[in-house]
Structure 1
């Protein structure tokens, strides 16, 4: 409802001046480029609020071709036009994220690599649920939604604690066994410390391909690789994802999936008007 109030304000004055009260319309939602569809459930909720009937012709996660009609909407013309932009914006953004996630994941899977693709918390405030659901629809992992989901010791925590070992000691002294512990590291030395002192997951942050390879080889040499999950994050994009994936980390997380992905072009087209 907050999204609708933000957009509509005190009323859609243009629609109210042009569209007579009681005008019924039939419209179609068109995806105007090849895409993975995401956000149908959210779109349904918005049109339900407008009192419109919506029939979806595809499912969440379906891959569709350019100019595919994915839904038919029927109802009061004024109401449909008033919520149109909010519904399309959510559908457009979520489909863009799902499409990019699926594209990158396909590259990894087609190479026969068992690497998970994950999101980050680099989302627009208020849109995290939608962004992370889109990641899931695209086949990726949402990672943590909130700070209370999982313990993730980052560089500033390590600086304040005085080192990886002390940061882990403080956490393990009081944290529930139920919460996994992840440590973000910048060097091979920090990675070894994290593995030795009880991290469940080690995030190799903003490392080059060579640096990631060095860390993984060091952990293997010390017999520590199988004791932890390895997540690689930062500097990863479509051009270099395979270079990182071939090193066989367990997870690759990409902030750009939610902060830089292009939305998919979608439209609502009126195809029938019935005046009362």
Structure 2
């Protein structure tokens, strides 16, 4: 992870930060602070500290990951060589702002759905920015959400294209069960009531109802209950879920709502870094 962070910084710097090198003489020492400009949930603090530490900048954390801030609140104090601070400033702020935006949106969505379904889990999807999936997934966690899969090796998730090539729900689950360790859950994405019942009878651990409307979800849940299959599986819904319709899905009584909305539609939280000269 340190290598990934360092790569981000050095890609931004290039051969040198010519502006800072031209204007700031060596030997200066400054102190500064990262300040929140709006209300939100902070995420990415530990990553910011890792970058600053790599460049010999001292830090003091005042707000940790997952904590709420108000406008004007200081998130972190820093001190050190201004040449180093100014060279990493944008990378640090971009990460903090992006991750805090995701954490804030996640927290807001969870607050909304828990008002109608106190036990529902809100999870992210793999609709993340390539190269930033680890950071964006951790931002979801800071906002109180579930990360779902970080990578393809986390668990089995049988999707429509898998089924098209294998030939059926039961066969796909059987092949997966024979191949993977008992430590891995097997999840399958289905689009119809018939497929959901097949998946439950075949022993899927998690059934994802993909692109179903709330009425369709309720129909599936009732059929599983009637067949004494509901207690055997986790029911997840996904596909086109956002702030406009998520309450309707939460009211159905599903266990998990997964949505790419909390990553791909999150707005960055407004943060800034201010410096003062010490000597």
TM-score range, shorter chain: over 0.9
Larger mean Cα displacement after TM superposition, 66-75 or 78-87: 66-75
User: Aligned residue for 1:248?
Assistant: 253
Measure, in 1, the Cα distance between the counterparts of 2:183 and 2:52: 40
User: Aligned residue for 1:115?
Assistant: 120
Per-residue deviation, residues 41-92 of structure 1 (Å, max 9, x unmatched):
0000111112111111122211111121111111111110000000001110
Larger mean Cα displacement after TM superposition, 191-200 or 233-242: 233-242
**Is 1:64 equivalent to 2:69 in the alignment?**
yes
User: Aligned residue for 1:145?
Assistant: 150
> Structure 2 stretches of 5 or more lacking a match?
1-5
Measure, in 2, the Cα distance between the counterparts of 1:77 and 1:159: 57
**Is 1:230 equivalent to 2:224 in the alignment?**
no
Name the Cα RMSD after superposition: 1.2
**Is 1:7 equivalent to 2:12 in the alignment?**
yes
Q: Is the 8 A contact 1:231 1:251 kept in 2?
A: yes
Question: What's the CA shift for 1:173?
Answer: 2.7
In structure 2, the residue corresponding to 1:99 is in which secondary structure? helix
User: Aligned residue for 1:218?
Assistant: 223
> Structure 1 stretches of 5 or more lacking a match?
none
The correspondence for 1:21, drawn from 18, 23, 26, is 26
Question: What's the CA shift for 1:14?
Answer: 0.6
Measure, in 1, the Cα distance between the counterparts of 2:177 and 2:38: 49
In structure 2, the residue corresponding to 1:29 is in which secondary structure? strand
Q: Is the 8 A contact 1:27 1:269 kept in 2?
A: yes
In structure 2, the residue corresponding to 1:61 is in which secondary structure? coil
In structure 2, the residue corresponding to 1:232 is in which secondary structure? strand
TM-score (norm 2): 0.95
In structure 2, the residue corresponding to 1:66 is in which secondary structure? coil
User: Aligned residue for 2:3?
Assistant: none
The correspondence for 1:155, drawn from 147, 156, 160, is 160
Q: Is the 8 A contact 2:117 2:251 kept in 1?
A: no
TM-score (norm 1): 0.96
In structure 2, the residue corresponding to 1:237 is in which secondary structure? coil
In structure 1, the residue corresponding to 2:182 is in which secondary structure? coil
In structure 2, the residue corresponding to 1:85 is in which secondary structure? helix
User: Aligned residue for 2:93?
Assistant: 88
The correspondence for 2:200, drawn from 195, 198, 223, is 195
Measure, in 2, the Cα distance between the counterparts of 1:124 and 1:98: 15
Moved over 3 A (4+): none
Question: What's the CA shift for 1:112?
Answer: 4.8
